[in-house]
């Protein structure tokens, strides 16, 4: 069984992951308005990954005989209006989620909850990958410097992304 503090923190992270999914779905919609179907695909795949992350934590809380409490999810506030700004916003969001995961790891260590500490290691590694993925697209977008042909090529590349299935 997990402590109340760990349970509450994991429930908060479930909500963060669900809010992330909703945020990425909003970004997909914005990219659709920009006529970038590959970007739409990338963000829809990201949406699916975030749902998988939430479900992974959800299942873990239940496996540890904890109580899952789901909170309301706020409407996403997408401010970006072009492809580069959207990905910069995505990177900022991933950095925020990384900090949430790090705080969870710190709490698990403080509570001497070794099982949760080990469980969260996957998320630490996942966040490194998430941030790198967003940075790679940002680097490409900066490299093309608004060139429509380059944007077209990046859009075609992003159309190929498929979300990896959730691990058991």
For the stretch 82-94, pLDDT in tens is 999 999 999 999 9
Predicted confidence (pLDDT) at residue 168 exceeds the cutoff of 50: no
Instruction: Report which of 39, 21, 23 is spatially closest to residue 31, judged by C-alpha positions.
Output: 39
Distance CA 69, CA 137 (A): 35
Q: In this prediction, what percent of the chain has a pLDDT beyond 90?
A: 93
Average pLDDT, the chain: 95
Joined tokens for residue 165 = 């299935």
Report how far apart, in Å, the C-alpha atoms of 72 and of each of 11, 14, 22, 25, 82 are: 12, 11, 12, 16, 29
Instruction: Report which of 149, 122, 163, 164 is spatially closest to residue 28, judged by C-alpha positions.
Output: 163
pTM (2 d.p.): 0.93
């Amino acid at each position: 069984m997990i402590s109340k503090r760990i349970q509450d923190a994991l429930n908060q992270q479930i909500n963060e992951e669900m809010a992330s999914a909703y945020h990425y779905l909003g970004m997909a919609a914005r990219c659709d308005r920009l006529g970038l179907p590959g970007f739409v695909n990338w963000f829809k795949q990201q949406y699916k990954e975030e749902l998988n992350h939430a479900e992974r934590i959800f299942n873990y809380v239940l496996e540890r005989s904890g109580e899952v409490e789901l909170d309301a999810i706020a409407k996403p506030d997408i401010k970006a209006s072009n492809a580069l700004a959207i990905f910069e916003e995505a990177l900022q969001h991933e950095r925020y989620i990384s900090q949430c995961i790090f705080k969870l790891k710190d709490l698990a260590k403080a509570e001497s909850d070794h099982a949760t500490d080990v469980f969260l290691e996957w998320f630490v590694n996942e966040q490194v990958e998430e941030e790198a993925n967003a940075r790679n697209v940002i680097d490409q977008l900066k490299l093309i410097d608004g060139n429509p042909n380059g944007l077209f090529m990046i859009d075609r590349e992003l159309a190929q992304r498929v979300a990896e299935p959730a691990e058991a």
